[in-house]
Amino acid sequence: MTETSDGRGHDNTHSQVHGGSGEIVQARDVAGGIHFYYGSQRGGPPLQLPRGVRVFVNRLSELTALDELLVGDENLVVYVIAGTAGVGKTSLALHWAHRVREQFPDGQLYIDLRGYDPGPPVPPDQALERFLHALGVPAAAVPADVEAKSGLYRSALAERRMLIILDNAGSSAQVRPLVPGSGRSLAVVTSRSHLQGLAVRQGARRRTLDTLSESEAVQLLSATVREYRTGDDPADVAELARLCAYLPLALRIAAERAAGRPAMPLSRLIADLRDESALWNTLSTGDPDEAEAVHTVFAWSYRALPEDAARIFCLLGLHPGAEFSEAAAESLTGRSTREVRAALDLLAGACLLESTRFARYRFHDLLRAYAVDRAQYEVPQEEQLAAVERVCTWYLHSAYRCALAVAHDTTLLFELDPAESGTAVPEFADHARAAQWYAEEKSNLEAAVRAAAGIGQLRTAWRLAAVSERIYATYNDFNDWRSTSQIGLDCARQLGVQADEAAMHESLGRLCRMTMQLDEAVVHHENAVTIYRDLGDLPGVVKVLNGLGWVHLFRHRLQDAHDALSEALSVVQGLSERSWHATVLYSIGYTCAQLRRPDEAEEHLTRSLGMFRALGDHLYESMVLTAISYLARISADSGTALTVAAEAVDISREMRNPLWEATALLYLGRAQRAVGDAGSALVSYQRPRSAAVRTVIAAARRWPSKEQG
């Protein structure tokens, strides 16, 4: 028995069990059975390293120090590369990571923690969720608590040798939960801070990256322009390096501009660079001379852009998330595909933008700050707001189509007006493509909800939160689900739309129920049902009361559960909601079994089974059968317990659902044990095809159960 995304089932606290072949399993001890999940690292190990810079020179001593990590202290699990902004920390980490990746056979993990980005940094629990998913942990198996997430992450790494790149960290607290627990894996952290807390508590070693020497800076410039320019005066090259303060980021931008103008004397480019204003206080690299140099190079390169590309550069800085697609850029800027593609190619070529993979881009945090600053000065506020509204609306339409493709329950999705002409909203041919889009845009959905609310687009923010909730519920992405639903609730209150407020209370109540935050779940469910009663929304009342009943079951308040579900049953009997009628009958039947009221339980469960069969809903038919098997067993009707459990096994096998099959086999095994047929029970426990599921069943046999076996 399980909690599904439409809130009809139930679950309880969970335990993790590790199976063979890298599989990670979760079993949830529920009132009346064990619900288990399993996941495996399919398709090979995670290989998340972004591409490195096109030209990498120098840093020989730093590379040597990193190489020594592979033959040095086996207990070292974290190494910090610190240094000022733009000094090349990420370039060094990625260049070295690509060099040694074969020495980490279990793969590489990467995340930009955005510690110094103009937007909010990535919180540790969100980073842990991404890593756990990459490591093969199913979303349903990821606990809600950050400490529990961190423990599961360390367990998943325990037998692996992996390289983890934690880029742009803002603090030790942000990094600490992401540090491996053993010496087989290594985390390399880049930060503008020295992160001394990691050295004290995790034994981290640190290398502070200085700016390049003059000769190294000249070498970087020369290597970048070698294919495009010849005959430059070495004194001019040295002067250009000096004007860039020997910072690799500034040097690369200057070199790309020089490479793009091979016929222009370098002395002319230097003169242009000297003419740029140094009066800019938005950006600070920690050193006034370096800040001046970085600003000057940015401005010098920016002013060389064509007018349209410069405007697109400014608008791109307003994108809510750190990384964006070409399609999102079109929506944000309001330009055609051809115009945007040309501008993106130009900006990436000038090192003003990074191409992360095909048709996806991101800013260096300094350049994003510069783009935002330029937008404030050069783009009217109305145009800025319109750009953010356009891209948030694009995310709404895209997420809507994604939800239709991947969500378990789409029946309550509102109708959207067609997207504006020329807006390239993605079409998803199948579940896999929609899931891939969500994997790429996951962090941007939360950022877009936040951005829409921030500019006063409350209706868009609420709708995007409501649509995203269906996707989050499908994948159990609890952190984003909570943050967006809370924003949606605030927006609904400001709009004064009670139905929308109730929907967000319902969403948050279901989230809290699934994460076992039961006191908070009660508050949200009761708020939702009060609003639905006031509105006369009887289907809403039924759905929320059913959820409230399961909250009380989890709290072991069986009579409170029975009261809530009895009210739900009295309401749903007057509606044409046959699926919810069957669901409430199942819920109250299971509750009566827990209350040891067998006659009532049998009546409700039998009616529920008949209705689900009439509806052709085999998932819930199998679920009700397992409940009937449990009821028969505690009523000493072993024959019925065996028969209906076997029927549940057959149905789940026909559905080709190994988890439901394993659930049904667990009930069958218990029924066989109840009649003293231990040999058949053992066969049932061993029949699931997955070794991981067999491991969970074996563990479940050893766990205490309220059923006493």
Asked whether the predicted pLDDT for residue 238 surpasses 50, the reply is yes
Asked whether the predicted pLDDT for residue 163 surpasses 90, the reply is yes
Asked whether the predicted pLDDT for residue 272 surpasses 90, the reply is no
DSSP conformation letters of 149-160: HHHHHHHHHTT-
| pLDDT of res. 392 | 96
Asked whether the predicted pLDDT for residue 653 surpasses 90, the reply is no
Asked whether the predicted pLDDT for residue 25 surpasses 60, the reply is no
Asked whether the predicted pLDDT for residue 696 surpasses 70, the reply is no
Q: What residues are paired with 111 via a beta bridge?
A: 166
The average pLDDT across 253-260 equals: 86
Asked whether the predicted pLDDT for residue 706 surpasses 50, the reply is no
Helix axes 234-243, 248-260, angle to 10 degrees: 130
Asked whether the predicted pLDDT for residue 33 surpasses 60, the reply is no
The average pLDDT across 615-640 equals: 90
User: Which phi and psi angles does 676 have, rounded to 5°?
Assistant: 85, 10
563, exposed or middle or buried, with CB in 10 Å at 0-12, 13-18, 19+?
Answer: middle
pLDDT confidence band for 278 (50 / 70 / 90): very low
| pLDDT of res. 659 | 67
Write out pLDDT tens, residues 526-554. 999 999 999 999 999 999 999 999 999 99
Write out pLDDT tens, residues 288-335. 555 666 777 788 778 888 999 999 999 999 999 989 999 999 999 999
| pLDDT of res. 691 | 37
Asked whether the predicted pLDDT for residue 370 surpasses 60, the reply is yes
Amino acid occupying residue 284: S
Among 442, 335, 333, residue whose Cα is nearest residue 395? 442
| pLDDT of res. 422 | 61
Asked whether the predicted pLDDT for residue 367 surpasses 80, the reply is yes
| pLDDT of res. 6 | 53
| pLDDT of res. 701 | 43
**Residue 231: C-alpha distances to residues 33, 225, 254, 393 (Å):** 78, 11, 17, 52
Among 379, 397, 398, 390, residue whose Cα is nearest residue 331? 390
User: Which phi and psi angles does 680 have, rounded to 5°?
Assistant: -65, -40
Asked whether the predicted pLDDT for residue 39 surpasses 50, the reply is no
Asked whether the predicted pLDDT for residue 665 surpasses 50, the reply is yes
Domains in the chain, CATH or no CATH each: 60-209 (3.40.50.300), 214-303 (no CATH), 307-379 (1.10.10.10), 380-466+479-487 (no CATH)
Instruction: Write out the two tokens for 511.
Output: 């989230």
DSSP conformation letters of 596-658: T-HHHHHHHHHHHHHHHHHHT-HHHHHHHHHHHHHHHHHTT-HHHHHHHHHHHHHHHHHTT-H
Where is pLDDT greater, at 380 or 36?
380
Amino acid occupying residue 227: E
| pLDDT of res. 243 | 81
Task: Quote the CA–CA distance of 395 and 389 in Å, as a whole number.
Answer: 10
By percentage, how much of the chain surpasses pLDDT 70?
85
Task: Quote the CA–CA distance of 311 and 371 in Å, as a whole number.
Answer: 9
The average pLDDT across 595-622 equals: 92
The average pLDDT across 351-369 equals: 85
Task: Quote the CA–CA distance of 66 and 60 in Å, as a whole number.
Answer: 10
Write out pLDDT tens, residues 429-455. 888 999 999 999 998 999 999 999 999
**Residue 110: C-alpha distances to residues 69, 134, 155, 479 (Å):** 19, 10, 18, 20
| pLDDT of res. 688 | 59
The average pLDDT across 403-420 equals: 78
pLDDT confidence band for 411 (50 / 70 / 90): low
Window from 12-26, 597-611, 649-663, 678-692 with minimum mean pLDDT: 12-26
Task: Quote the CA–CA distance of 645 and 622 in Å, as a whole number.
Answer: 9
| pLDDT of res. 624 | 93
Asked whether the predicted pLDDT for residue 610 surpasses 90, the reply is yes
Asked whether the predicted pLDDT for residue 707 surpasses 60, the reply is no
The average pLDDT across 175-204 equals: 85
pLDDT confidence band for 605 (50 / 70 / 90): very high
